Structures are given as C-alpha cells and as structure tokens.
Structure 1
Amino acid sequence: MTERTSKPTVGALPDATVESPSVPVALTRLVWLLFAASVAVFVARVRIGGEWRVPGVITIDGLTVLMWVVVTFFSGIVHSYSRRYMVGSGHETDFFLAVFGFTAAVMGLVTADHVALFALLWLAMGLAMAELIGTVDGWNQAQAAADVARKYFLASSALLGVALTALWWATGATTVSGIAAAADGLEGAVWLVGAVALVLAAMIQSALVPFHNWLLSSMTAPTPASALMHAGFVNAGGILLLRFAPVVTVDATLMLGIVVVGATSALLGKLLKAVQPDVKTELGCSTVGQMGFMIMQAGLGFFGAAVTHLILHGFYKAYHFLSAGGRVEHTSPTESDPRRTSTAGAAVVLVTGLAGGVLFAVLTGKGTSVDSGLLLVLFVVVTTLHAARSAVAHTSLPATARYGAVPLIFIPAITGYALVYEAISSVLSGLPVVTAPTELRALHVLVAVVFLAVYVGIEIGVHERSQRLYVALLNASQPASSTVLTDTEDYNEY
C-alpha cells in the first residue's frame, strides 16, 4: 500500500453541485411514469388476456407487455444513475435524449406488427445505440467505435430487410402475425433465404461470434450506456427469433444450426473472457457467451427459456456494469487458484448440479421425454455446476460452512428459476410458438458431448497450457484498432 491519498483522473472532475438541465430531469420522470403505466398494462393484460391490436399495424400481446415492463425498468435505472454520472458533461442532454429514444424504439419494436414498421424500429434502435457509443463527439476513439457499431447495425438491418422481403414474397403477408400464420406452408429457396437472414440479423445484434467485434469495440460508451447495451440491446436477437419462431421452426436442420451457432458463441465467449485484463471487456466477453446460451435455447425450441434467460441476464449485467467501478476498487490479486477444489467440495458441487437439473425437470416437465428438452436440462446442470464451483472456490468461509451453504443457496435458486420460467412461458402463451422441442438427433448428442468436453476443459484450465491458444484468444478479442485509447490526454471531455 502507498500513502497516496488522491486518485489520478482523466480530465477535470465534473461539478456535482451544478443543477442538471431540465431535459434529463423531465425524461427521467417520464420513463418512470412509462414503467408504472407498463406495469398497469401488464396486470390488465394478464387478467383480461387476448390480444389488443390495431389491425395490420401494432399488436399488444404477452411479449409486448412483458418487455415493456423490463425495458422501462432498466431504462429508468439507467436514467436515474446517469443523473449523477453525466452531471456537468457538455453532452448530458444529448445522452439522455439518445437513451430515451432508444427506449422508445425498443418499446415500439415489441409492439410493431407491420413488417415495414418493425424494420424501421429495428434500424432506429441500432442507430440510437451507435449514438450512445459515440456520445463524446470530441473523442476520436469514441467516434470510431460508433462508426464500427453503426456498420454492424446497418448490416443487421439490411439482413432483416432481406428476410422480411423474402418472407413477404413467400407468404404475401405484410405483417409479422400474417407471416407467422402462413409459416406452415413455407419451404424452398425463398424461405431458406429469409430464415438464414433472420438468424444472421439476430447474431449480429446479439454480438455472437464472429460478429462480436462491435461489442468489444464499444468500451468508449459511458458506463450507463454499456449497462443498457448489455442488459437490453443485445437481447434483440432473442426477441427477433421469438417473433419469427414459426418461420425458423419449420426445419429441424435449421434449428440444429442455431444450436451449433449458440453453443459455439457460448464456449468462445467463456474462453475470450478468461484472457481479459480489464473489467468492462471481461463483462463484454461474458455477454457474448451468455447471448450464445440464449440463442442455443431458442434453437432447442424453448423460446420461453430464451426470454427468461435474456431477462435474468439483463438484471445481472446491468448490476455488474453499474457497479464496475466498485469491483475495480475492491478487487485485489490473489495467489490462490480458484480451480483447486477438495474432493469433498467437488462432491458437493456435483451433487448440487445434478439435483438442480432433476429439480428443474420436475418443476417444468422439460427433459422428461427424449427430445431437445434433455439438452436444456443438461445446460441447467452445467450452469449450476459452474456457479456452485465458483461459490466454493471464492467464498471466504470455512470449508464446512461453504459446503453446507452451496445446496442451501442453489437448490432454492433453481426452484426460483424454474418458477420464473413457467410464469414467463404462461405470459407468452398467446404467441404462435413458445415451446417447440425438436426430435433428438445424433448430431444433437454430438454437439452436447463436444460442448461438455470443451466446457470441462475450460473449467480445469486446459486452455491455459497453450501459449498459442492464449495469443489467438487475445487477438480474437481485440477491439478495432481505431477505437483503442493509447493516451489518456486524448480524452478530456470536461
């Protein structure tokens, strides 16, 4: 420890006594009013049921009201947090306008039924996020990051345009609901072009490998913008696949391809996270992996599970980004190896993971038949094993207390997760497809075996024995060179 009493800063600190402009104050109050209204609409929708719509334009269904509540809540937190974070900044008003604009675009997107309106709001959502990434207009690296993100988002919008055009051509429908209703008759090259373009658009928006560079290049964004990005924006890929679930579930081979894409990103995200030296990039790589899990659940046919995952991941990632500074402050190097677990600890972790999988299967009914539900339960087991092992390795309690606490914490947590999953699936029940388990094929088993083997290898640190792999992972996780800040003097917003 040193006797240093002051911390180095980049630029002058903002004056916290300066009164905020009226726009941020008004927008913060407005977004919380929208949250209250969304909760009221959600309750009404659950009690009354059915769909509320303006035919051919918008539809308010279970997904709409659920996402309204989630999006406005996250946005309200970000608005309130930013009132202090952005105080004194010359870009404060522009930042709040972009955050609120993004919120409005997402709320509109989950309501849109006409394909043109859906595509327009998808584009608006991406442009608003690019604006947030490049908030500081005098910072060259921030502008470069915004340009990188904008190119990806424009590509995603172009692919969505191709998909919607192909599906309109194949069905004659100009609405999302109309395309869903006619999906049973889809086949041939036009459908394939539309379906593949949908999946690619979702992959880009959710920053799946190999489209993750825009996310890892976005670290110039203010921290609350990063929280909104990782808690909300990247989830759009899952929402897109759910809205067009009748289209992608037409063919089992396409669904298997989605599983492979998701599993690959889940594993590579975990590997990329292992080589990151800073908190925000580590969180970014974690998002790449978690979005892989979300897309994988959709590929297995469990769209309700995908939505549950994106919501819970949103809460988790918003918290971690908004508290990233505290994590840096309180984290110190340690000589202990978190992979070293005693035999008793390993047994407790294994039993907890298996018990969690069985409990999830019993509460949800998934995994009780020979279909893709077995893989969903397997991934629940793997996730529980990972979380339980981390708790055993990192908790500074006596061994007996740690081993006893793990099942007492994780079994109720799995119970809560299963109940939340069932509740969300119930809210989504009016959608054309919420659950569509696929027949278990040999390729599903192969994907599961490879995934499990690689995952176990990562957990025990096999990948760290290869310097070549380490360098390859480090290179694969590098942001665009134009977005890298090499001199702190280049950034002096104030």
Structure 2
Amino acid sequence: MSGRTSQTTVGALPDTAAESPLVPVALTWLVWSLFAASIAALVTRVQFGGTWSIPGLVAIDGLTVLMWVVVTFFSGIVHSYSRRYMAGSAHESGFFLTVFGFTVTVMGLVAADNLALFGCLWLAMGLLMANLVGIVGEWKQAQAAAAVARKYFLASSALLGVALTGLWLATGATTVSGVAAAAETLGGPMWVVAAGALVLAAMIQSALVPFHRWLLSSMTAPTPASALMHAGFVNAGGILLARFAPVVTVDATLMLAVVVVGAASALSGKLLKSVQPDVKSELACSTVGQMGFMIMQAGLGFFGAAITHLVLHGFYKAYQFLGSGGQVERTAPGETSEHASGVGLAVTLLTGLAGGVLFAVLTGKGTTLDSGLLLVLFVVLTTLQAAHSVVGHTSLPAAVRYGAVPAVALPAITVYAVVYEAVLALLRDLPVVSAPTELSALHALVAAVFLAAYVALETGVHERSQRLYVALVNASQPASSTVLTATEEYNEY
C-alpha cells in the first residue's frame, strides 16, 4: 500500500487565504490571539503568583492558565488545519463557530468558581461537542452519533448536577473553593452520593469503560473535530477530579475504587485496540486506555500527574488524529513484528526498570511505602511497552533497535519528569495536588492483577482465545445507527 501510486482525480487544493469565508478567517486569528493572551497569563502567573478572582464567580489559578494555554493551542491547530479540511463544505462556517464556542466554553469552565456556573458550562461543553459530532446534517448516521453522544453528555451533566447540589447541601458553599475549604466536614450519606456522582460524571466524559461507546460511535465527526475531542474534551474527567480533589480524597476506599475503574479501562482500552480494523477506531480505543491511566493516577492521589498525563496525551493524540489520513500510506504490508530474542528481552526489561528508577530519582515518587510505588510501576510498564514495540520491529537491524531503546526511552522519561515537576509547581496553590495513600492489601491485589494482565497482553495470550476475540469485537462496536455502510452516504451535498 505504501508503494502504490495514484493519479490526481480532483482539482488543485483550494487557496485558503483567498477562498475562505470571513468567519473561518476571523475565528482562526481570534483563537490564536487567545493563545497569545493565555501565554501572557501563564508567564505573569509564574512570575508573580497569586490567584486572580471575581469573588463568588471565577478564580484564575495555575490550573486555569495551564489549561487555557493547552486548550487554545489545540483549538488554534484545529482552526488552522480546518481552513483547508473544511474548505468548500456547506457546514464550514457552522463548524468554525462551534469549535470556537467550544473553546471559549472550556476556557470558562476551568476558570469557573461558582458551582452553578461550573455545572452550566459543563453542560454547554457537552452539547457543543455533540453538535460537532453531528455537524453534517445530511447524514442520518451523523445525527444518530450526535444523539448517542448527547445522551451520554446529558447523563454526565445530570450526575454532576447531583454532585454539586449534594456538596452545596453538605457544606453550604456555593463555590468550588468554598467546598474545598469545607472538605474536612464532609462525610456520611450526602458525601457518598455527591462523590459517587462526581466520579461517574468524570468517567462518562472521559469515555471510560463501560461508558466508552459514545466515543467509538463518534467517527462521523470531521477529523479535526475528533482531534479536539480526543486531545481536549475527554480530558475533562481529569480536570473535574483535580478541581474537586478535596472531596474525592476524603475516604481511602473511594480512592481505591477510582484506581480500580481506571485500571480496568486502561487494560480494556488496550484489548479493544487490538481488534480494530481502522486507524481512527484504534486511536479511539487508545484514548479509552489512556484516560484510564489518567483516572488511575488521580485515584492514587497524584492529581498533578493526572494533569501532566492529559496535557502530554493531548499533544500526542492531536498529532495522531490530524495525521491519521497518512497512516495507511505509511504502513507497508511487509512490516511485521517478531517476539524479542533473549537479548531483546533483556534490553526491554532493563530499560523499563531503569526508567522507573530514573523517574523515582527525579520526582521523589516511589521512595516511600505509599501509592507512589504504584505510580512508578505504571511508569515502568509504559516504558516496557514502548521498548517492546521498538524491539519487535524487524524493519530495523537488531543492533539499532537495541541501542535505540534506552537512547530514546530514558531521555523521554527525563522530559516527562521535568514536565511533571513544572506542572506541580504551577498547581501549588490548589487545595490538593498530591495526596498519596497508604498501601493496603487491596492495592497490592490491584497491582498484581494489573501486572499479570499486562504481561498476558504483551505476550499475546489473549490472541489464542476466539471467544475473547468475539467478545472484544462486540464490546467495541459503535451504535449500529451511526455506521456509514454505503459510499453514497458520504456525500454531504
């Protein structure tokens, strides 16, 4: 496939500078201006510190300015990319207006301190994303996909409404900061309902299993909208837990439950990805798994690590989606993988262990008997996965592969640790950034099960079961009404 040639059957690509309507041009410039302003806000925040606020309404802290920079950057990339991608579409102006509206809504959400305002912006964010999924009104499948997404997002908003109402009744506070200040008084049935609803709202928004079908059904969305969805929208679950960390950390049992649901989604995403027939579905399942890792980090008490994860994952996934059209051309049928030899296995294991030690040394995590050990374990497993992938490719000489693994992996771990420490410094004024919990027998059990399942997946044990294969295919099916089955259905005109 990579070596095939094709003749040009369409005219030249449009000159976006000359042919774009006013709305896409103006909004592209405006969103990049917001990015520049966000950079200025971040620099000012780092230089002078403090929280800027309108009491009872908004509070601009380190998390706010960080997410402003991230969101406006991704939105700027999507706006610029879409100038050509959406050129000539009947929905071009509507698409740009919706993307820009989504961007402004998220910027408001991460600054909102008032509970009612936070809930309203959460709802608006979901509805705008559902509109992007169904932006092509002429496709009944797109409308069906939008309806599926809207149902999930409304459920998430309803759960968040329950959580915010419960926290207001329990504390008497009408602001996020007020709830955080009164967190020590939380407990009892009202807290259980509120905290449980909060976690469920985060799970739905981040497409964790079993709420992942809305994400797998969203393939009717234009590719740049998918990039914004996977790089930004699904991260809302992690931001929600970070904002309400004082509520979630009240009880160690709830924290452990968050670890379990995150671990289940991380493993499920990896399994579901293995049976996907197309690039975008693979990326969607990858997102399910990565969001599981993010939520798991929050459950371990490392909310700064969760924010770091969502930022880095956002950059990676935006690049992957915007470049998904070229993945098919770059995949040659002759490229295969092989099981690592004894030397390759040794290189992989040593690199993984070295990565964990390096992360522990640079961050101080995992040096005491608390949940930081599990955080280091996940760093080791992530390094092992990357190393195993490189070692298994036969397109490179063995010596090159074995040398490239530590040469690439260890500097990458260093960069991750440095970014993590920078994020922690930026989030230092949040009520809770790190709240490691004591290790228990249940933590050890979760870690053991996760490690065993991970090893089984890496060694291909799951590939030997036809029953499991069928179950995974069924579990990863989008809603049937959202599937485009005939070529003529793709014509939006």
- Superposition TM-score, scaled by structure 1 size: 0.97
**Residue in 2 that maps onto 1:300:** 300
- CA contact under 8 A between 1:339 and 1:459: conserved in structure 2? no
Q: Deviations over 1:218-255 (max 9, x none)?
A: 00000000000000000000000000000000000000
CA distance 1:209–1:14, shift in 2 (3 Å): farther
1:83-162 pair list within 5 angstroms = 83-162=83-162
Q: Deviations over 1:364-406 (max 9, x none)?
A: 0000000000000000000000001111122632211211121
Where 2:253 maps in the other structure, the secondary structure is helix
1:29-40 pair list within 5 angstroms = 29-40=29-40
Q: Any stretches of 5+ residues in structure 1 without a counterpart?
A: none
**Residue in 2 that maps onto 1:191:** 191
Q: CA deviation at 1:15?
A: 6.4
- CA contact under 8 A between 2:297 and 2:306: conserved in structure 1? yes
**Residue in 1 that maps onto 2:428:** 429
Q: Does 1:16 align with 2:14?
A: yes
Moved over 3 A (4+): 1-8, 12-15
- CA contact under 8 A between 2:335 and 2:394: conserved in structure 1? no
Letter in 2 for 1:317: K
Identity %: 76
**Residue in 2 that maps onto 1:357:** 356
**Residue in 1 that maps onto 2:225:** 225
**Residue in 2 that maps onto 1:241:** 241
Letter in 2 for 1:136: V
**Residue in 1 that maps onto 2:380:** 381
CA distance 1:351–1:29, shift in 2 (3 Å): same
**Residue in 1 that maps onto 2:213:** 213
Where 2:116 maps in the other structure, the secondary structure is helix
Matched positions, count = 490
Alpha-carbon distance between aligned partners in 2 of 1:80 and 1:466, rounded to the nearest angstrom: 45
**Residue in 1 that maps onto 2:461:** 462
CA distance 1:487–1:416, shift in 2 (3 Å): same
Alpha-carbon distance between aligned partners in 1 of 2:414 and 2:307, rounded to the nearest angstrom: 17
Letter in 2 for 1:101: G
Where 1:430 maps in the other structure, the secondary structure is coil
Q: CA deviation at 1:5?
A: 3.3
- CA contact under 8 A between 2:58 and 2:111: conserved in structure 1? yes
Alpha-carbon distance between aligned partners in 1 of 2:4 and 2:72, rounded to the nearest angstrom: 45
Alpha-carbon distance between aligned partners in 2 of 1:221 and 1:104, rounded to the nearest angstrom: 20
- CA contact under 8 A between 1:61 and 1:430: conserved in structure 2? yes
Where 2:156 maps in the other structure, the secondary structure is helix
**Residue in 2 that maps onto 1:65:** 65
- CA contact under 8 A between 1:42 and 1:65: conserved in structure 2? yes
Q: CA deviation at 1:186?
A: 0.4
Letter in 2 for 1:36: A
**Residue in 1 that maps onto 2:476:** 477
- CA contact under 8 A between 2:119 and 2:160: conserved in structure 1? yes
Q: Deviations over 1:133-186 (max 9, x none)?
A: 001000100000000000000000000000000000000000000000001110
Alpha-carbon distance between aligned partners in 1 of 2:393 and 2:43, rounded to the nearest angstrom: 41
Letter in 2 for 1:16: P
**Residue in 1 that maps onto 2:441:** 442
**Residue in 1 that maps onto 2:312:** 312
- CA contact under 8 A between 1:304 and 1:434: conserved in structure 2? yes
Q: Deviations over 1:419-477 (max 9, x none)?
A: 11000011000000000000100000000000000011011111110001000000000
Where 1:493 maps in the other structure, the secondary structure is coil
**Residue in 2 that maps onto 1:403:** 402
Alpha-carbon distance between aligned partners in 2 of 1:149 and 1:463, rounded to the nearest angstrom: 30
CA distance 1:266–1:3, shift in 2 (3 Å): closer
1:156-175 pair list within 5 angstroms = 156-175=156-175
Alpha-carbon distance between aligned partners in 2 of 1:4 and 1:404, rounded to the nearest angstrom: 35
Alpha-carbon distance between aligned partners in 1 of 2:463 and 2:184, rounded to the nearest angstrom: 48
- CA contact under 8 A between 1:141 and 1:484: conserved in structure 2? yes
- Superposition TM-score, scaled by structure 2 size: 0.97
Letter in 1 for 2:472: L
